[in-house]
Amino acid sequence: MARRAAIPGRKNPIIEFIELDRGRVPSFDRYPFNIPAIKSLERLDLHPNVTFFVGENGSGKSTLLEAIAVQCGANPEGGSKNFNFGTRTSHSELCDCISAPRNSGHRGTDVFFLRAESFFNVASEIERLDEGTRGPLIQFYGGKSLHEQSHGESFLALITNRFKGGGLYLLDEPEAALSPNRQLSLLALIHQLCRRGSQFIIATHSPIVLGYPSATIYRFSDTGLNSVAYEECEQYRITRAFLDHREKMLAELMRDE
């Protein structure tokens, strides 16, 4: 179990915690409940501003993020509760076994799930809802088709224009669409939105995105789920080691046996 004490001076986050109802789990021997991090989950306290999920591919971070998004009413492939499209039903049973109760006063809060792997489908759904015109909906996303911009440009355009103060925003590997410079722009946008009462839960591999100050970071691993400091994250340690000792590391990786 991973837990975090309440943060002094910060009150009434949109979601204070998520909890796994272990009595509703059909079996801890089948996916996704057999993933070590999910298997160890009881209650996970969230930072009022930004909570990060980090871990290797397949460690369960995106699976849990998706379950939280669905539990909060968002479309599992991305978007808000008003997005009902689905190219393939693939979300797990985990969403039926967790609770993410909203604090009083936040039950009507805007929720948006943004995942890099299905962003194309979100952009297409916006155009479908506008019936091929530059109608009212696209104005909330900057007034220009997201398909007529680069992946990174459209990603930031959506966050800049669609995300408003006081919202709950779940981002799955946002760095996949963004250059290092645009990742810094994302940090600035996140900070502006947090100052306006928003809350973020972000699954990421990026040491830049992870650098957001005072965030809570949860590491998903083969030994379970635990909170870590930024400098303890593998993403930070490996990147720093590579930048500080690039030639040595490359020589070791590429040496002839």
CB contact set of 129 (below 8 Å; sequence gap of 6+): 137
- In the numeric block, the tokens 């789990």 are attached to 25
Residue 135's pLDDT band (cuts 50, 70, 90): low
How far apart CA 44 and CA 102 sit, in angstroms, is: 14
pLDDT at 248: 94
Segments making up each domain of the chain, as ranges:
17-254
Q: Which range, 91-105, 123-137, 164-178, has the best average confidence (pLDDT)? A: 164-178
Question: So what's the pLDDT on residue 4?
Answer: 41
The answer to whether 42 touches 1, Cβ cutoff 8 Å, is: yes
pTM: 0.82
- % pLDDT > 70, the chain: 74
Note the CATH number of domain 17-254: 3.40.50
Instruction: Provide the residue count of the chain.
Output: 257
The better pLDDT of the pair 253, 154 is held by 253
**Which tops the pLDDT comparison, 202 or 73?**
202
Per-residue pLDDT for 185 more than 70?
A: yes
Structural element, H or E, at residue 210: none
- 250 contacts: CB under 8 Å, gap ≥ 6: none
Beta bridge partners of 55: 220
Sign of dihedral through CA atoms 244, 246, 247, 248? Answer: positive
- pLDDT tens for each residue of 14-46: 999 999 999 999 999 999 999 999 999 999 999
First CA to last CA across the chain, in angstroms? 43
Identify the helix (H) or strand (E) that includes residue 216: strand 216-221
Q: How many Cβ atoms sit within 10 Å of the Cβ of residue 9?
A: 6
Q: Check pLDDT > 80 for residue 228.
A: yes
In angstroms, what CA-CA distances link 201 with 5, 82, 86, 170, 217? 17, 20, 22, 5, 10
Residue 28: how many other CB atoms lie within 10 Å: 11
